[in-house]
Structure 1
Amino acid sequence: MDHTTPDAYTVRAAVALAVRAPSVHNSQPWQWHFSGRTVELRADPRRRLRHADPDGRDLLVSCGCALHHFTVAAAAMGWAAQVHRLPDPARPDLLARIDLVPHDTRDADIALAAAIPRRRSDRRRYAAGPLPVRDEIFLQKSASDRDAVLRIVTEAPRRSALTGAATEADGLHRADPDYEIELAAWSGRHYAPDGVPARNAVRAPVSPHELRVREFAGARLPDTAGPDGAALTVLATAGDTALDRLHAGEAASAVLLTATRLGLASCVYTEPFELTSTRALVRDCVLDGRLEPQLVIRVGHLPPGAPPLPATPRRPISEVLRPVAHPYGAGLPIPDQLRGR
């Protein structure tokens, strides 16, 4: 047995956890390919949201989340991921090439991987009360370790600017019929393996003082009572290149899994950054023009007695994971082990 190369079942298990990552509209815009110890993450442009995500920002952030989920899962299984991001300028869809090498699994690896199946995108209102300082430090460090900054928005003028940007983005999107058609196509699903199920979608709050999360069609999830006490954070990067957006997704994954480990509810929100005007508003009025905002993460505790959310569906592994075609030479068959049989 070759102990320096992961078997196909290990790769499949790691990818199965990786695809539990959140993605815009649960579109899951990724493809995975592997050969031996090398795994590739590729963007799936067919799943880019043409009207919500015209420049592909959300697609890259979503794939970055999945990339970090994969490295966490692999580490828990005894494989360190050596990640080469955007390795081929001639192939912009190739987002990462990952070499897996043997790794001594630590308790922290297992604990973080165990958070993956427990994490939910919970759009309900959270209970009132600030986050403990200790939790804030853990969340901010999880972002800074991955080349991003997590800014916790507490000052009233900055919170007002953030909620105002969200309200403006919602209004601009609602005035766009193509956006509305696209949103409805990904909303209120019951049996599909992608999109936002009706059971996981909640109606957006109407208070002008609360962050207006995206309102999906057919929402059936009852909201919790009372005002929203969520801590609002903006995850930002120094620049706004494709690499910055990929890093933002990795950092978002780290923040979400850390929040889950701490017993916190969380939800990613990207609508204000899908439009140039509202993204600039957050950049200038929340981040003082010094950083590029990539996404909002709401964090907090659910009120006592709030029922747990079901997991959102995911596409079958057979649809998203493929062996690299003919890695041993043109025209040669692919071994059964690499086919995952």
Structure 2
Amino acid sequence: MREIFKSGSVRGRIVTSGLLPRKEVRYVPYLTTWAIRNDANSMSYKNERRFGKMEKYDPKVTPWQVSERDFPREGSSTEKLKFLLSYSILAPSSHNSQPWKFHIRDSEVDIFADKDRWLKVADADQCELYISVGCALENLLIAAEHFGYAHQEEYFPEGVDSLAAVVKLTPQEKIEKTRNPAFFEQISKRYTNHNIFETRKIPKAEMAQLHACFYEHGFWIFSTNEGPYILYTEEELRHRIDELITRADAIQLTDRAYTKELAFWFGQGAFGTPWLMAKISQLALTYLNISKGQTKKDSEMLLSAPALIALASAADNRKSQVMAGQIFDRIALTATSLGMAIHPMSQILEVPEVKAELRELLEVPEVKAEVAKLLPEENVFPQQTFRLGYAEPEKEHTPRRPLEEVLV
């Protein structure tokens, strides 16, 4: 190993191991290193500590390698709660923006929406911001139950939208677990899959496990593979949703403000793209018209999936958005445990006129009858859309901000 550059606090290294049949120079932003990767050995951050070595877990450089063995059983209450938050920061988020911050007070954890990481163009109504916060909250509750903490959460206790939740955590010898214990080990295995999906269908038994993720009233999933529906066949539904996705892509990718925002996040390495490719993608988004190519790619990805799903709620407010994030997190963890791939496709919800059409599409008779049991207004508010199925696994997890960076 030899150092090839040093600039400020960033250090670069080349790692070699004998003669490499194929070499790829790769920048790993979360490790701040240049590395030559041996593709023949299929090295990936997901399966290695650092450069393929199983080094000790370090929350600053190996967040995905967190292990329950490192729980500080003899540590202080603050140290233990900080460790629980090591699982919160692994939650999914819109554009991997990780828009959350935490504050520990005695036996309580405050969870804040980090408005500095709000995608003001793509997520103008901040729905995805709060769904992301809900995912982080759910990971905290899952980890808390695993390590023997009873929990009580209060949503927006101060009446302002910056403080999304306060969680009171009480260690107990025996607690009543409200969540599937199997969720915990899936937290560090979960990832978003951007690959083309296989055509094989999802068994009804596995769909039933997704429906079991709903602990809250007033939420449900609408899936194209769970018909028949009165107004549409499954194929008609899929193509109708594809039309909406295609139109949303066309609107967004020709919007200069949107592509500039997307380019910024690509340039930050938020998607786990190697540094050089991230910068190339940033330049392409900034200076080239990629609308047709990206729209075609999104259509191929969507139509390849055996199930296109909308997570919807009977209310549309900040609390319901956070709770929708909690449900989506449980769905993602369930899918991971079943060997399934999941990929949010939120652009259909990011363009107001397209979102309105999706809402109309969801208001088929069966859905309206189901909602009527919950609220007399028969409202249908789509909160998250995603494709579900089977695919080749992603090679790497997306990078994560160090825990210390999100503590206030």
TM range, normalised to the smaller chain? Answer: 0.7 to 0.9
CA distance in 1, matches of 2:359, 2:266: 29
Q: Residues 155-170 of structure 1 correspond to what in structure 2 (within 5 A)? A: 155-170=234-249
Deviation at 1:183, TM superposition (A): 0.3
- Residues 1:296 and 2:385 aligned together: yes
Alignment of 1:1-341 (within 5 A): 7-89=77-159, 91-103=160-172, 104=174, 110-143=181-214, 145=216, 147-154=218-225, 155-187=234-266, 189-190=268-269, 195-198=270-273, 204=294, 206=296, 210=300, 228-288=304-364, 290-302=379-391, 306=392, 308-322=394-408
Query: SS of the residue aligned with 1:186?
Result: helix
Contact 1:14-1:70 within 8 A present in 2 as well: yes
What SS does the aligned partner of 1:197 have?
A: coil
Bigger radius of gyration among the two: 2
Shift of residue 255, structure 1, vs aligned partner: 0.5
Where does structure 2 lack aligned partners over 5 or more consecutive residues? 1-72, 226-233, 282-292, 369-378
- In structure 2, distance between residues paired with 1:233 and 1:11: 34
CA contact (8 A) 1:234 1:294 kept: yes
The whole-number CA distance in structure 2 between the counterparts of 1:42 and 1:108 is 23
8 A contact 2:311–2:324 mirrored in 1: yes
Q: Aligned AA for 2:398?
A: T
Q: Deviations over 1:248-287 (max 9, x none)?
A: 1111001101111112111222111112111111110134
Q: Distance in 2 between matches of 1:80 and 1:210?
A: 44
Instruction: Out of 228-237 and 178-187, give the one that drifted further.
Output: 228-237
Count of residue pairs the alignment pairs up: 297
Distance 2:217 2:333 in 1: 13
SS at structure 2 position matched to 1:125:
coil
The alpha carbon displacement at 1:156 in A equals 2.2
Provide the rounded CA distance (Å) in 2 between the counterparts of 1:111 and 1:149.
22
Please give the alpha-carbon distance, in whole angstroms, between the structure 1 residues aligned to 2:197 and 2:117.
31
Q: Distance in 2 between matches of 1:148 and 1:172?
A: 29
- 2:93–2:132: 8 Å Cα contact kept in structure 1? yes
What is the identity, as a one-letter code, of the residue corresponding to 2:169?
A: L
Deviates more, 1:251-260 or 1:145-154: 145-154
Change (3 A) 1:146 1:79: farther
Q: Deviations over 1:168-219 (max 9, x none)?
A: 11111012101001001111555xxxx112269998572796455xxxxxxx
Once the 2 structures are TM-superposed, how far is the Cα of residue 314 of structure 1 from its aligned partner? Answer: 0.7
Identity %: 28
Q: Deviations over 1:207-245 (max 9, x none)?
A: 796455xxxxxxxxxxxxxx7234211100002111111
* CA distance in 1 between partners of 2:335 and 2:318 (Å): 26
Q: Which has the higher contact order (CA 8 A, sep 6+)?
A: 1
- Structure 1 gaps, min length 5: 213-226, 323-341
TM-score when normalising by structure 1: 0.80
Q: Do the aligned partners of residues 101 and 284 (structure 1) sit closer, same or farther apart at CA in structure 2, a change above 3 Å counting?
A: same
For the residue of structure 2 that corresponds to 1:236, the secondary structure is strand
With the length of structure 2 as denominator, give the TM-score of the two structures: 0.67
Counterpart position of 1:216? none
Confirm or deny: 8 A CA contact 1:29 1:47 kept in the other structure.
yes
Cα distance in 1 between the residues matched to 2:90 and 2:210: 20
Relative to structure 1, the CA distance from residue 133 to residue 144 in structure 2 (aligned partners, 3 Å threshold; closer, same or farther) is farther
**For residues 130 and 121 of structure 2, what CA distance do their matches in structure 1 show?**
15
- Letter of the 1:206 counterpart: K
* Structure 2 CA distance for aligned equivalents of residues 94 and 67 of structure 1: 12
Asked whether the 8 Å contact 1:166–1:211 carries over to 2, the reply is no
The 1:109/1:12 distance shift into structure 2, 3 A limit, reads farther
Alignment RMSD:
2.6
Alpha carbons 1:146, 1:247 under 8 Å: kept: no
Contact 2:142 2:183 in 1 (8 A): yes
